């Protein structure tokens, strides 16, 4: 262990002594892997026979399956191991020390089991080992109260109440901020007043006694007229806007396919118009940026639906969460463009070589030399027409060669 000279010697000594005691009581095998208390290498029937009383079994279970211990960070651990030196521990030394401490923690569980079930006669030595290991682990571990305080809580919203999400696709990346559309109080009050005033009126005597409307009176019925008047008087609810790099989504993405890709998470969850969304995208092409924006919006929408499910989630929101999870829009698409290969025109394509075809001029030279050698007379100033049929493409070519 040349790279672990700064590690405390009691740790290795405690590991060695604990192993020797466990070997003697035959709880651990001498030639086995490093101890990992998972219950696989223990005779379960024998342990079940030993654990007769429920109270003892419950206490032993709590001792063996204790919560996970959190160790100190590199800087604090460097001060604890070597307090008189200013040099911090190297990462390889820190990892090796953490491995040793995890081995001690696993061996301590075996010692607790041997002590509580009285599987050995050396109880005094096991008690001393248990106390020493407890002190050693307490020295390098973070207390539970401090660990619970330092535990990071998942942040759904920022200080402005917005949901934030990241998205990537190929060479494009996107960051999205999303917040619910707020309806003004004046609009809410006007809607409540209209809802209370729009009560169904009793049918008139004329409509009751008249079976069919006369052809000379083409006016619509009274109920339909009231519905049309009510729809015309209803105020327009504010709809959420989607901005991409400071511009509207219609101005930034020109094709319908790009816009449909960007708002796909909102479409499948029926949330179009419920949120104001601002997206910053860069890199790649427009289609990649649209897919990255869709990924970022899906992450924001997942956080919003999770928060709604914690507070007052309805069946509609739970169904939207299931749809969003099954669509896999919140997952990163790992596919990228395959690189071009050396000596080839593309990633997959190769050059087509014509092996059996010869150059046409070579055939012309052969034909001319053969004709002159056979004594064919070609008058001066006239042309010799040669037909050539290639073997690979099966095409017929005609060439002329003039003498003179």
Exposed/middle/buried for residue 339 (C-beta within 10 Å: 0-12, 13-18, 19+): exposed
Closest CA to 329 of 347, 307, 302: 302
Helical (H) or strand (E) element with 334: none
Poorest-confidence range of 45-54, 217-226, 285-294?
45-54
pTM (2 d.p.): 0.48
Give the Cα separation of 216 and 363 in Å (integer): 95
* Confidence at residue 63, expressed as pLDDT on a 0 to 100 scale: 60
Q: How would you class 107 by CB atoms within 10 Å of its CB: exposed for 0-12, middle for 13-18, buried for 19 or more?
A: buried
Cα 79 to Cα 73: distance, rounded to the nearest angstrom: 10
Determine contact, residues 82/7, Cβ cutoff 8 Å.
Answer: no
Q: Quote the pLDDT of residue 40.
A: 43
Q: Mean pLDDT across the stretch 170-191? A: 83
Q: Report pLDDT digits (tens) over 50-88.
A: 554 454 555 565 566 666 778 888 888 888 887 767 778
pLDDT (tens digit per residue) in 86-140 = 778 888 888 888 888 888 887 777 777 777 666 666 778 878 887 888 888 888 8
> Residue 347: phi, psi to the nearest 5?
-75, -40
- CATH architecture assignment, domain 157-182+238-338: 2-Layer Sandwich (3.30)
Q: pLDDT by residue (tens digit) across 311-370? A: 766 777 888 888 999 999 999 999 999 999 999 999 998 888 754 444 444 444 445 444
Which DSSP letter does residue 52 get? -
Domain extents in the chain:
2-148, 157-182+238-338, 360-402
Q: Name which of 92-101, 136-145, 157-166, 264-273 the model is least confident about.
A: 136-145
Binned at pLDDT 50, 70 and 90, residue 191 comes out as low
């Amino acid at each position: 262990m040349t790279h672990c000279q700064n590690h405390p010697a009691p740790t290795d000594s405690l590991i060695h002594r604990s192993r020797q005691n466990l070997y003697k009581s035959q709880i651990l095998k001498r030639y086995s892997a490093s101890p990992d208390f998972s219950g696989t290498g223990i005779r379960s029937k024998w342990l079940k026979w030993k654990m007769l009383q429920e109270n003892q079994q419950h206490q032993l279970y709590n001792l063996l399956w204790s919560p996970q211990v959190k160790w100190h960070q590199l800087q604090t651990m460097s001060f604890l191991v070597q307090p008189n030196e200013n040099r911090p521990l190297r990462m390889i030394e820190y990892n090796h020390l953490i491995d040793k401490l995890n081995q001690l923690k696993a061996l301590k569980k075996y010692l607790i089991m041997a002590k509580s079930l009285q599987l050995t006669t050396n109880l005094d030595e096991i008690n001393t080992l248990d106390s020493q290991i407890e002190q050693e682990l307490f020295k390098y571990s973070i207390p539970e109260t401090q660990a619970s305080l330092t535990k990071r809580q998942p942040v759904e919203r920022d200080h402005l109440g917005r949901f934030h999400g990241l998205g990537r696709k190929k060479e494009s990346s996107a960051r999205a901020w999303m917040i619910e559309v707020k309806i003004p109080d004046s609009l809410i009050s006007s809607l409540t007043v209209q809802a209370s005033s729009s009560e169904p009126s009793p049918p008139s005597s004329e409509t009751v006694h008249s079976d069919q409307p006369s052809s000379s009176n083409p006016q619509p019925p009274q109920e339909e007229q009231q519905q049309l008047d009510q729809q015309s008087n209803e105020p327009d609810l504010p709809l959420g806007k989607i901005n991409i790099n400071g511009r509207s989504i219609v101005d930034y993405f020109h094709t319908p396919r790009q816009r449909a890709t960007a708002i796909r998470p909102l479409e499948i969850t029926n949330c179009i118009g419920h949120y104001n969304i601002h997206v910053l995208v860069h890199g790649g092409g427009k289609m990649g940026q649209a897919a990255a924006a869709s990924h970022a919006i899906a992450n924001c929408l997942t956080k919003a639906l999770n928060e709604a499910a914690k507070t007052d989630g309805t069946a509609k929101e739970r169904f939207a969460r299931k749809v969003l999870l099954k669509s896999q829009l919140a997952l990163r698409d790992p596919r990228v463009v395959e690189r071009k290969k050396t000596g080839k025109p593309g990633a997959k394509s190769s050059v087509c070589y014509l092996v059996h075809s010869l150059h046409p001029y070579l055939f012309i030279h052969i034909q001319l030399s053969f004709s002159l050698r056979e004594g064919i007379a070609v008058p001066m100033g006239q042309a010799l027409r040669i037909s050539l049929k290639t073997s690979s493409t099966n095409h017929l070519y005609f060439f002329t060669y003039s003498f003179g």
